[in-house]
Structure 1
Amino acid sequence: MIDLTHIDELARRLSGLVPASLRDSRDEIQENFKAVLQSGLGKLDLVTREEFEVQRAVLLRTREKLEALEQAVQWLEAELARGGQPEASAH
């Protein structure tokens, strides 16, 4: 979910840039800016910080498992290169 306080603040800033001759309709312009910003951001394929952190943790665990598997494969390859039979309990 997008934090609407940031959108409100941005809409206020944008309406503050409106020329003085249009300041009478400032509230209406600010609401229009807000609507356009919400609409535009709503169309983007965004995730929340929480979703991002969950996926980051999953990726980290997957990377750790991959590194462990790579080490196991290297060990097995070294055992086979020496002509030995790798023992199930050795690693």
Structure 2
Amino acid sequence: MLSQKLFDEISAKINETIAASPAKDIEKNIKAMMAATFSKMDLVTREEFDVQQEVLARTREQLVGLEARLSALESANGPAAGSDEEQANLGLS
């Protein structure tokens, strides 16, 4: 079985070879090109996305609460009182 030291030495040699080769320059150029492309696109950061996700979750919770309150108010007023849309559909307004 090969020792961990041998794997580390091979890995170090490969890294040295890549660092001294044109592959490193190509990698830098590709990264720069990708960064320029992404900056032109209308993207949001992960942090911004997470914040908006939290805002949406709170808004949904509020909506559920408001729907429950509306339902309770409508049931307290009895069947004669409906929404404007319901009255318009029935021809009452």
* 1:82–1:26 distance in 2 versus 1, CA, 3 Å: closer
Relative contact order (C-alpha < 8 Å, sep 6+): which is higher? 1
1:72 positional shift: 0.6
Over the matched positions of the two proteins, sequence identity in percent amounts to 43
Matched with 2:34 is 37
TM-score (normalised: structure 2) = 0.53
Please state if 1:59 is matched with 2:69: no
User: CA-atom RMSD, angstroms?
Assistant: 2.4
2:29 maps to a residue whose letter is: N
TM-score (norm 1): 0.54
CA distance in 2 between counterparts of 1:42 and 1:53 reads 20
**Larger deviation: 65-74 or 44-53?**
44-53
Structure 1 stretches of at least 4 aligned residues deviating more than 6 Å after TM superposition: none
Greater C-alpha Rg? 2
Gaps of 5+ in 2: 1-17, 81-93
1:26 aligns with one of 19, 23, 31: 23
Give the aligned partner of residue 11 of structure 2. Answer: none
